[in-house]
Amino acid sequence: MEEIKPYKDSDTTHLFDQLNILLYLNGYTNFWVQKVKLPKKFIKFYDYMNIVLHVLCIAFSIIEFGSLFTQNELTTKQQADRNVIAMSNPMMHVYSIKYFLKRMETREVFYYIAVLLKEVHNDLDVERSMIRKLKAYLIAYAGSSFVALTLYGVYSTVKYITEDAPFITVITMWPETHDRSNLAEMVRIVFYLFWWISFYRDSAFYLIILSMQIGLGHQYMNLQSYFYNLQRIFDDSEMCQKEKEDKYVESFKYGIKLHTSTIWCTNQCQLICSEIYASQVLLLTIILINFLPALVNSQEDTELACAHFPPFIFTLVTMGYVMWNAGDITVEAAKLPDAMYSSGWENCYDQSAVRVRKLVVIAMTQAQQPIVLTAFGVVELSYETYLAILKSAYSVVSVFY
């Protein structure tokens, strides 16, 4: 890993300090190069608590997955919920395992994004845009998941009061859905409350993925700003023409170095998240195939349709977060050749002009290579792929229903 050197604090490093605390509380340690800024006594206590919570979350996922084999007397809604939750939670535990195996590589990527790639040039407008976007996505994810989990409880509570139905939110292998004993009801309430803890701990990896993707997308924007600003070198009246040309060449070469490092970070992002990207595409398809029939079958039942709609929309949006931001990386990287071309190379003359043109052509050729994050090595993560998956799932459902 790159040696951690003292660095100047910025809005980005301050944001990562805050994310470091949030992720630590959700079981993801060593996210950032700085230590968690919490009291030492609390950290010592919570390190043990993290182990206990992690074991409980794994056990909870097992009893959720076991419901696929033990719970058969389910309504259409319960069956759709059961299939989705029982399949998605074990996949989320894979994220935790992958993070543990790649935690050092993850720290290094974030160190590059926040510090090393911004040492010489950090466009404050781009940085503020990145922070606003990241905060918006994190708030939207936390808010939408809060609403979805709450609605599960509200729907079950209404059913319990108005129809004397069991309080069933998350389907587990025990108790049976027809069990009306007091113990069964208490266990269901406990499972529902623990589901909140399990969900946010398991899905916290989304914060890492979104932070990495948004940071990389804006780093390509920062690179564009860097190359566009090279034009200003030739506006300096205190330097002669040769000094301007020499400074431009050195600055352009440094820009190529930054571009190479940014590509390395993007490749690391693909390596760290490859299984997660594949599971997201697979999970999105599974969830759509489960929820769409449930929505179709509930068209004549307004109450049931309303119960299906919030988790369905939440699923579409959260899965879209990953694919949309991966697509943004591709879009912003594709704009870099134009920035290189507009960097001011035409202000060089004579032999220097020949040398600079060759340098610019080589750099633009490299920048024109598409930067694409993929799932399964072939499925491009983008807006177009996201829409294609939605259309494919709808086509499958429409054929059978």
Could you give the maximum distance between any two Cα atoms of the chain, in Å? 90
Count the helices and strands in the chain (H runs, E runs).
Answer: 12, 2
Q: Mean pLDDT, the chain, as a whole number?
A: 89
75 pLDDT exceeds 70?
Answer: yes
pLDDT (average), residues 252-274: 96
pLDDT (average), residues 278-296: 74
Q: Which helix (H) or strand (E) holds 283?
A: helix 241-297
Which residues is 380 bridged to in the sheet? 374
Q: What CA–CA distances, in Å, run from 171 to 86, 145, 163? A: 8, 18, 19
pLDDT of residue 96: 80
Other Cβ atoms less than 10 A from the Cβ of 286: the count is 17
Task: Name the E strands within 70-123.
Answer: none
159 pLDDT exceeds 60?
Answer: yes
- The candidate with the shortest Cα–Cα distance to 370, out of 362, 355, 380, is 380
Q: What CA–CA distances, in Å, run from 169 to 3, 32, 193? A: 48, 36, 10
Of the listed ranges 1-5, 135-139, 190-194, 234-238, the least confidently predicted one is: 1-5
Please give the structure tokens belonging to residue 36. Answer: 């968690």
Give SS3 for 375: strand
Contact indicator for 189, 168 with CB cutoff of 8 Å: no
pLDDT of residue 367: 96
Q: What is the DSSP letter of 107?
A: H
| % pLDDT > 70, the chain | 93
pLDDT in tens, 160-186: 999 888 999 999 999 988 888 999 999
62 pLDDT exceeds 80?
Answer: yes
If one compares 146 and 222, the residue with the highest pLDDT of the two is 222
pLDDT of residue 197: 93
pLDDT in tens, 124-137: 999 999 999 999 99
pLDDT of residue 395: 76
Q: How far apart are CA 95 and CA 8, in angstroms?
A: 32
Q: How far apart are CA 202 and CA 97, in angstroms?
A: 11
Which residues is 375 bridged to in the sheet? 379
Question: pLDDT category, 306, cuts 50, 70, 90?
Answer: low
pLDDT of residue 184: 94
What is the helix, strand, coil percentage profile of the chain, to 5? 80, 0, 20
pLDDT of residue 302: 60
pLDDT of residue 206: 85
Question: pLDDT category, 195, cuts 50, 70, 90?
Answer: very high
All residues at 6 or more sequence positions from 345 whose CB lies less than 8 Å from its CB, including other chains: 248, 252, 353, 356, 357, 360
Please give the structure tokens belonging to residue 314. Answer: 């939440």
94 pLDDT exceeds 80?
Answer: no
pLDDT (average), residues 232-255: 94
CA dihedral sign, ordered 288, 291, 297, 300: negative
Question: pLDDT category, 307, cuts 50, 70, 90?
Answer: low
pLDDT in tens, 23-57: 999 989 888 999 999 999 999 999 999 999 999 99
pLDDT of residue 318: 81
214 pLDDT exceeds 60?
Answer: yes
